[in-house]
Amino acid sequence: MARPFERGLLGGTFDHFHLGHEKLILSALKQCEVLEIWITSDKIASQKIGGVQSFEERSSFLKEWIKNKVETPVKILPRTYIKKLEDDVGPAEWRTDCDAIICTEETLSACEKINSTRIKSNLNPLNIIIVEHFLTKDGSILSSSSIRNGTYTRVGDKWIDESQITKNLQMPKSSEKSLKKPFGTLYEGPENDTTIAINNMIKDLNLREYSGKIVAVGDVCVSALREVGIIPNVSVIDGMTKRKMLPENLKPNQEGYDKKIQCNNPAGQITSEFISCLVEASKSEKNILVNVKGEEDLAPIILHLALPLNALLIYGQPNQGIVACFSNEKVKSRCKNRLNEFIQN
């Protein structure tokens, strides 16, 4: 079947490739015999907020997707070519062998500007193919930024389901043993001197230069970070250690936070109030202290689901040291599976 256009141009970052990208490419291939996909260079991509993947990661993922996407009725290979975009416009203003350009409503004005330049250069304007955004189940536009900020998965599902936010959850007995295992990298050190483990972690992760969000759970862990001059973006404390009250002189410094939140959460549970507090703190641009009346041990499960990608979560491991874990998609998936095991009250 003949397609209306010979060669189309499609530009973008294609960070954390998702169903919106897939829809864009497949829609373009339905109308173009050949499609050139121009992926922005690292220099251009670095202008975006959040941890954008490298050009190598983005282009490699797209190549694999093209190679393996065989079930679609739209033949992808060998009609698709991947190029590197080194500037904001690329070749669209001067190419004479292309007759279409693909965009969304969001980038339509840029395509119209390209056509204006082409007309001034006595070139035919490109046919503009507008593709509608992929919408999530709740009607939001699925974007790379919403994936980077930890709200949605690449297929448009929320990491934290609304039904889980509004109900209290009880930890099942079967999960107790697995939840006690370190979930991340363990930095060993004596319990009476946590700065040893903390300093090893700081050196290993180059934490002084780290620009992402730092989250700490537990009074001892928060105190240890503050002792070395680091105020976590989110601190979660309950005034306890090993389920015993901390003496006043060992409690963490509570100064230097933009906002303090208090909530209730009994041991072995994740209450809806607790979830709301943790989600609010995770999404805030301010430094937040969450003071829990009850127990904060299960906070990392919710925090990982709510935090942006590549946020660093730190918590204490009794009698062993400090655990550090980056909140990537693999970690989020694991936490989501664990949360699904909890019993709704």
Higher pLDDT, 177 or 228: 228
* pLDDT one-digit tens code per residue, 22-59: 999 999 999 999 999 999 999 999 988 778 999 999 99
Task: Give the pLDDT band of residue 242 (cuts 50, 70, 90).
Answer: low
Q: What is the average per-residue pLDDT within 232-260?
A: 86
Q: Identify the CA nearest to 98 among candidates 130, 118, 78, 126.
A: 126
pLDDT given at position 228: 92
Residue 284: the pLDDT is 95
How much is the pLDDT for 180? 74
Mean pLDDT computed over 339-345? 88
Q: What is the pLDDT of residue 162?
A: 74
According to the model, what pLDDT value does residue 193 have?
A: 83
Average pLDDT for 274-288: 95
Is pLDDT at 248 greater than 80 in this prediction?
no
Q: Are 183 and 299 in contact (CB under 8 A)?
A: no
pLDDT tens for residues 258-277?
999 999 999 999 999 999 99
Task: Enumerate the β-bridge partners of residue 32.
Answer: 5
Side-chain half-sphere exposure of 156, counting CA atoms within 13 A: 15
Comparing 8-12, 156-160, 233-237, 246-250, which segment has the lowest mean pLDDT? 246-250
Identify whether the C-beta of residue 65 lies closer than 8 Å to the C-beta of residue 46: no
Residues 6+ apart with CB under 8 A from 105: 130, 132, 133
Q: What is the pLDDT of residue 47?
A: 87
Cα 35 vs. chain centroid, distance in angstroms? 29
Residue ranges, CATH 3.40.50.620, the chain: 5-148
State the angle between helix axes of 329-341 and 299-306 in degrees (0 to 180), rounded to the nearest 10. 130
Helix, strand, coil shares of the chain, percent, nearest 5, are: 35, 25, 40
129 pLDDT above the threshold of 70: yes
Express as a percent the part of the chain with pLDDT over 90: 77
The alpha-carbon radius of gyration of the chain (Å, integer) is 24
Tell me if 95 sits within 8 A of 81, measured CB to CB. no
Question: 165: which 2 tokens?
Answer: 């936010």
Residue type, 95: R
pLDDT digits (tens, 9 = 90+) for 72-124: 777 788 899 999 999 988 999 999 999 999 999 999 999 999 999 999 999 99
Domain 5-148, CATH? 3.40.50.620
Please give the mean pLDDT across all residues of the chain: 92
pTM above 0.85, yes or no: yes
Q: Read off the pLDDT of residues 174-221 as tens digits, 9 standing for 90 and up.
A: 877 777 777 899 999 987 788 899 999 999 999 999 999 999 999 989
Token digits of residue 94: 């001067």
